């Protein structure tokens, strides 16, 4: 068997509520469909289908990456759209160095262990609407942020009503204070 896996950053409760509100408004404005609030996240590394016998290696990679990463504040302050995919998103104008370091560590370790990794540049974002017909307004974005203090391995299950994500494991990041 195999599972569809990805490493993610999950918003705290307050940021999740704010993101859900913005997602609903964005979906309405773009003609898209907002994801369920419990699915809101920032993907750090997407693995795709991973055979069950490789899950232990993925868990070890996540633990190593988190042990070497420091917590940081992530501020999402820029709206945009991946036109080809019909995805409206909220991202960051400036990627915190701690997040860039975490991304690079994951990508290097995944590659070393033989996992497929993205070759595109890292563009941290939260998906606000899928199947968007038009881009969201880029002006007037109210920033949404939270202190990122954990890395989470997520499993994705495709159901008739859409994808649902479940946390498989989570590791704390080192405190920078």
Query: What are 33-85's pLDDT values in tens digits?
Result: 999 999 999 999 999 999 999 999 999 999 999 999 999 999 999 999 998 88
Residue 24: exposure state from Cβ atoms within 10 A (0-12, 13-18, ≥19): middle
Closest by CA to 74, choosing from 152, 166, 149, is 149
Beta bridge partners of 127: 89
pLDDT at res. 139: 78
pLDDT at res. 163: 78
pLDDT at res. 176: 62
C-alpha angle 33/2/151, rounded to 5°? 65
Could you give phi then psi for residue 175, rounded to 5 degrees? Answer: -75, 140
Residue 63: exposure state from Cβ atoms within 10 A (0-12, 13-18, ≥19): middle
Round to whole Å and give the CA distance between 139 and 93: 13
pLDDT at res. 121: 85
Task: Note the pTM of the prediction, 2 decimals.
Answer: 0.93
**Residue carrying the six token digits 């994951």:** 106
Closest by CA to 72, choosing from 92, 96, 105, is 96
pLDDT at res. 119: 80
The answer to whether the beta carbons of residues 103 and 119 sit under 8 Å apart is no
Cα-to-chain-centroid distance, residue 110: 17
pLDDT at res. 137: 84
> Which domains does the chain show, CATH number per domain?
2-172 (3.90.1140.10)
Q: Which residues of 96-129 are buried (b: 16+ CB within 10 A; e: fewer)?
A: bebbebbbebbbebbeeeebeeeeeeeebbbbbb
State percent of the chain over pLDDT 70.
99
Round to whole Å and give the CA distance between 154 and 166: 5
Residue numbers in the chain where pLDDT is lower than 70 = 176-177
The answer to whether the beta carbons of residues 128 and 39 sit under 8 Å apart is no
């Amino acid at each position: 068997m195999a599972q569809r896996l990805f490493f993610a950053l999950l918003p705290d409760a307050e940021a999740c509520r704010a993101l859900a509100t913005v997602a609903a408004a964005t979906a309405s404005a773009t003609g898209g469909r907002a994801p369920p609030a419990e699915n809101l996240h920032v993907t750090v590394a997407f693995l795709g289908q991973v055979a069950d016998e490789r899950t232990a290696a993925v868990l070890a990679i996540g633990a190593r990456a988190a042990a070497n990463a420091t917590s940081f504040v992530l501020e999402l302050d820029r709206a945009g759209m991946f036109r080809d995919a019909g995805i409206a998103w909220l991202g960051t104008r400036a990627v915190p160095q701690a997040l860039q370091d975490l991304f690079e560590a994951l990508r290097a370790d995944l590659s070393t262990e033989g996992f497929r990794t993205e070759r595109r540049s890292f563009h941290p974002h939260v998906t606000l609407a899928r199947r968007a017909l038009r881009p969201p307004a880029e002006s007037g974005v109210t920033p949404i942020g939270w202190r990122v203090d954990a890395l989470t391995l997520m499993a994705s299950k495709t159901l008739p009503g859409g994808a649902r994500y479940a946390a498989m494991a989570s590791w704390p990041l080192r405190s920078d204070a």
